A = this chain, B = another copy of it.
Amino acid sequence: MSSPHPPTPDRATATEPRRIGWVGTGIMGASMAGHLLRAGHAVTVHSRTRAKARHLLDAGAQWAETPAEAARGADFVCTNVGLPSEVEAVHFGHDGVLSTVSEGQCLIDFSTSPPSLARRISEAAASKGAAALDAPVSGGDVGARNATLSIMVGGDPAAFERAMPLFSAVGKAVVLQGSAGSGQRTKIVNQVLVAASTLGMCEAMHYAQVAGLDPQRVLDAVSGGAAASWALSNLAPRILRGDFEPGFMVEHLVKDLRIARDEAQELGEVLPLVDLCLSRYEHLAASGHPRKGTQGLYLLYRDRLGKA
């Protein structure tokens, strides 16, 4: 009874090591793959630009020349790329993941992409006896670095359970939302909310400015009540500092809002706020600011870029 407790196993030792193929080493992907390496998994990585995989290779990852090569023999094949066309290419393209997928493998796509594409990947995987999960994340670069991402998952419950050790190594709030595509649909909900409150925040901050108010004093007055939002607390102060760096990039929100609009059209729905947010952000991207942070929408008002 007086003997010391055995040490609690941490993530790095509690999980059976797995062979993981990883495709995509952008800001998010590189951090996430790094967590899996540190958790003791064997990671084989492919990236369009090999230099972006350097840190992972130095930390013990293997290099693969193609997505197919990264996937071959892996227990889990994880992808985290940018545009839907890239998600499509790394899965369905020549040397894509699906050219080599085999029975018992589990594909996990962390990218944000269309629900319909997630279902196509799931069906293609199933036809070869493999499973596929769509698992878009939120929480940004900070969440990826600190392994505190929210992960919205769609797919088969058994595959979800099997993948949980990987999810736990990169995220905190991990929820299975339903069948294939449900993770992507939940991410759409998230992005509609993000876009709405960011647009509202920018328009309100602009009004405060032109109305001659002291914007900081206004924030002090309105941030604690019914007007409260993450955007107001986190992005409005950046605007006041003149900081329009990303955070989350304009061109990525444009992509996500296009997915939302297309998905709504497929469902026969009109989402007027999505349409407004998309047209404003497309305008901002076309005005030379595609790689600003989403709070850059304020510039449309300030610089009157939005006026005909």
Contact = CB atoms under 8 A, between A and B. Distances in A.
A213 B182 contact: yes
Interface string A208-245: 10111110011011101111111110100000000000
Interface string A2-37: 000000000000000000000000000000000000
Interface in A24-79: none
Given A189-B218, A193-B200, A214-B177, A271 B207 contact: yes
A168 interface: no
A230 B222 CA distance: 12
A217 B186 CA distance: 9
A272 B199 CA distance: 10
Size class of A's contact patch?
35 or more
A196 interface: yes
Nearest to A234: B226
Nearest to A152: B221
A197 interface: yes
A197 to B, nearest CB: 5
Contacts of A194: 226-227
Interface string A83-118: 000000000000000000000000000000001000
Interface of A is mostly: helix
Residue among A186, A196, A218, A248 having the largest count of chain B Cβ atoms under 10 Å:
A196
Given A193-B227, A212-B178, A271 B203 contact: yes
Nearest to A203: B273
B306 A221 contact: no
Given A185-B211, A192-B204, 12 more contacts: A150-B222, A150-B225, A178-B214, A186-B221, A189-B227, A192-B200, A193-B204, A203-B272, A203-B274, A227-B230, A228-B230, A269-B301
Interface of A: 115, 138-140, 143, 150, 152, 173, 175, 177-178, 182, 185-186, 188-197, 199-201, 203-208, 210-214, 217-218, 220-222, 224-232, 234, 248, 260, 263-264, 267, 269-274, 276, 280, 301, 306-307
In the A-B complex, the 9 residue pairs with the smallest Cβ-Cβ separation, listed nearest first, are A196-B200, A193-B227, A229-B229, A228-B230, A192-B204, A185-B211, A175-B221, A190-B222, A189-B204
